[in-house]
């Protein structure tokens, strides 16, 4: 009986998603006719609760490789996981927009398409629209794991591999999700702004306030041990830490990984844990590796920079010859 009820619920949720998609098209038609709906609707709270770790899975990409949940922490950026179907008309119409996002926001937002349908049709569709990072979800198992309620629908995943939003259904709400992700990432704190009053836990288990960093210039580095871009600069960073740290500025690592994996990185500098990504969000650093300078007065001393080269350039630009 429980299994039957779960199947009925899943069917209802998928039907609800299709209804939302049709309503999306009706609203667009009304708007084109000059008729606006006065009342604004909030996105329903469907899907996994934000902050929970992404489910473990193994799937095949359209190119034949294997993809696991580790894909969400490899890029160092937020990820939009989009659920589509080869038999979904609104999905087909939406895919050129999705391809545009993949190219326009490369380096800021990862967009992964999980498509349900025959593998050959999924590959043909990916080739037609020049889509990157397409996952074969032939039986809809991946959509079920993320509690997707129909197609097209999408969910945001944070760079530390946690759910960052509820499921958004229909093109309009998915577009809003993308705007939120890209907009939050590009804002940041202005130079001269006071450092946020945040408290994080050190690797030693002590509570450390960011205000306690006053008195000396610091390079605040946003890091994740599971991030591929972080891995690529790890040795260079340790070398810089040994040769330049202790001179100017002081390196302070803010890790969105767990204590065990972060400790294994071998940093000699202060390390603070930010598994919920509160500090990253406060500074507008929605990816890793990213960094910002803090001056001795406890104020933001530079724009947030992203990527290994930019981080090391920022660090070296403030080291006396």
pLDDT for 181: 77
pLDDT for 37: 43
Instruction: Give the residue-averaged pLDDT of 219-237.
Output: 89
pLDDT for 10: 45
Is 70 exceeded by the pLDDT of residue 321?
no
User: Domain 199-317 maps to which CATH number in 3.40.50.720, 3.40.30.10, 3.30.310.10, 3.20.20.70?
Assistant: 3.40.30.10
What average pLDDT does the chain have?
82
> With contact defined as beta carbons under 8 Å apart, do 314 and 291 qualify?
yes
Greater confidence, 185 or 162?
162
- Architecture of the 2-187 domain: 3-Layer(aba) Sandwich (3.40)
Greater confidence, 8 or 65?
65
Residues 185, 144, 114, 11, Cα dihedral to 10°: -110
| Alpha-carbon span 182 to 240, nearest angstrom | 31
| H helix intervals, the chain | 2-32, 71-74, 89-104, 119-128, 141-145, 171-187, 228-243, 259-263, 278-283, 308-317
Instruction: Give the residue-averaged pLDDT of 9-22.
Output: 48
Size (the chain), residues: 321
Instruction: Give the residue-averaged pLDDT of 238-254.
Output: 81
Of the candidates 311, 265, 275, the residue with the CA atom closest to the CA atom of residue 292: 311
pLDDT band at 136 (very low <50, low <70, confident <90, very high): very high
pLDDT for 4: 47
Residue 166, sorted as left (phi over 0), alpha (psi -120 to 50) or beta, turns out to be: beta
Is the pTM higher than 0.75? The answer reads no
Across the beta sheet with 79-85, what order do the strands follow?
A: 66-68, 58-61, 134-136, 110-116, 79-85, 153-157, 168-169
| Alpha-carbon span 257 to 239, nearest angstrom | 21
> 233 vs 161, 184, 256, 263, 307, CA distance in Å?
20, 25, 17, 17, 9
The token duo for 149 is 């309620």
| Alpha-carbon span 72 to 87, nearest angstrom | 27
Of the candidates 284, 291, 294, the residue with the CA atom closest to the CA atom of residue 308: 291
Of the candidates 290, 292, 306, 311, the residue with the CA atom closest to the CA atom of residue 107: 306
Segments making up each domain of the chain, as ranges: 2-187, 199-317
Is 90 exceeded by the pLDDT of residue 313?
no
pLDDT in tens, 202-220: 999 999 999 999 988 899 9
**Lowest-confidence pick of 17-21, 40-44, 191-195, 315-319:** 17-21
Is the Cα torsion angle 59, 64, 66, 71 positive or negative in sign? negative
Greater confidence, 8 or 128?
128
Is 60 exceeded by the pLDDT of residue 118?
yes
| Alpha-carbon span 232 to 181, nearest angstrom | 25
Q: What is the rounded end-to-end Cα distance, in angstroms, of the chain?
A: 73
pLDDT band at 22 (very low <50, low <70, confident <90, very high): low
> 50 vs 1, 13, 126, 218, CA distance in Å?
30, 19, 29, 31
pLDDT in tens, 290-300: 899 898 888 88
Three-class DSSP labels, 214-268: CCCCEEEEEECCCCHHHHHHHHHHHHHHHHCCCCCCEEEEEECCCHHHHHCCCCC
Is 80 exceeded by the pLDDT of residue 157?
yes
């Amino acid at each position: 009986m429980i299994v039957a009820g779960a199947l009925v619920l899943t069917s209802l949720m998928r039907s609800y998603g299709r209804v939302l998609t049709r309503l999306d098209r009706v609203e667009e038609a009304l708007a084109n006719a000059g008729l606006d709906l006065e009342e604004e609707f909030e996105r329903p709270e469907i899907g996994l609760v934000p902050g929970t770790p992404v489910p473990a899975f193994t799937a095949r990409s359209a190119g034949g490789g294997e993809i696991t949940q580790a894909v969400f922490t490899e890029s160092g950026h937020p990820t939009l996981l989009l659920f589509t179907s080869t038999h979904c008309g609104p999905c087909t119409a939406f895919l050129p927009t999705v391809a545009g996002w993949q190219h326009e926001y490369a380096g800021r937002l990862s967009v992964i398409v999980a498509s349900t349908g025959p593998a050959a049709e999924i590959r043909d569709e990916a080739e037609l629209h020049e889509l990157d990072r397409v996952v074969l979800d032939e039986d809809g198992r991946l959509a079920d794991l993320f509690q997707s309620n129909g197609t097209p629908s999408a969910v945001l995943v944070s760079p530390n591999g946690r759910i960052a939003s509820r499921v958004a259904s229909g093109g309009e709400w998915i577009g809003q999700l993308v705007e939120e992700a890209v907009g939050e990432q590009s804002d940041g704190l202005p130079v001269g702004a006071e450092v946020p009053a945040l408290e994080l836990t050190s690797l030693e288990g002590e509570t450390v306030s960011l205000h306690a960093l006053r008195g000396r210039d610091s390079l605040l580095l946003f890091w994740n041990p599971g991030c591929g871009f972080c891995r690529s600069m790890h040795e260079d960073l340790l070398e810089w830490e040994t040769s330049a740290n202790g001179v100017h500025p002081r390196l302070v690592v803010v890790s969105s990984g767990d204590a065990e994996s972060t400790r294994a990185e071998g940093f000699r500098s202060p390390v603070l844990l930010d598994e919920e990504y509160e500090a990253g969000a406060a500074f507008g650093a929605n990816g890793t590796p990213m960094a910002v300078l803090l001056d001795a007065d406890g104020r933001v001393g530079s724009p947030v920079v992203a990527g290994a080269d930019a981080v090391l350039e920022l660090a070296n630009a403030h080291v006396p010859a």
